């Protein structure tokens, strides 16, 4: 405990004894302020561009096949699992949707 206090004291003493940092010179304002121009304001009537209709979309999807219960002697809700279905994480794929006009 005494050693930690000494290290903290020496650290604070050396930090406090450092020379002051020089601040940058601020910009000097003009002597005569322009009064004929107003400050720029954001356009409150600005709208996003209109959506011109359906567009091509690309998304990442998991293409895991959902099988329906087929009986085959298994309990309802269970079925034979293929090697693809046994993977804990499926490899994602890209889904591309192109609208036809």
Q: Residue 18: its pLDDT value, please?
A: 66
Tell me what pLDDT residue 40 has: 76
- pLDDT of 54: 79
Those residues whose C-beta lies under 8 Å from the C-beta of residue 59, and which sit 6 or more positions away, are 94, 95, 97
Q: List, for residues 38-68, the tens digit of each pLDDT value.
A: 777 888 888 877 777 778 889 888 766 666 6
Span 1-46, pLDDT tens digits: 788 888 888 888 777 666 777 888 988 888 887 777 777 788 888 8
pLDDT at residue 69 greater than cutoff 60: no
**28 in Cβ contact with 49 (< 8 Å):** no
Task: Round to whole Å and give the CA distance between 12 and 84.
Answer: 62
- Nearest by Cα to 101 from 52, 60, 59, 50: 52
What CA–CA distance (Å, rounded) separates 41 from 50? 24
User: pTM for this structure?
Assistant: 0.30
């Amino acid at each position: 405990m005494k050693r930690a206090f000494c290290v903290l004291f020496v650290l604070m003493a050396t930090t406090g004894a450092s020379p002051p940092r020089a601040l940058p010179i601020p910009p000097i304002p003009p002597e005569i302020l322009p009064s004929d121009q107003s400050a720029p304001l954001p356009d409150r009537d600005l709208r996003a561009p209109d959506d011109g209709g359906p567009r091509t979309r690309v998304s990442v999807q998991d293409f895991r096949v959902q099988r329906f219960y087929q009986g085959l002697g298994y309990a309802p809700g269970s079925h034979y699992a293929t090697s693809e279905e046994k993977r804990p994480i499926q490899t994602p794929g890209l889904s591309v949707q192109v609208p036809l006009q």
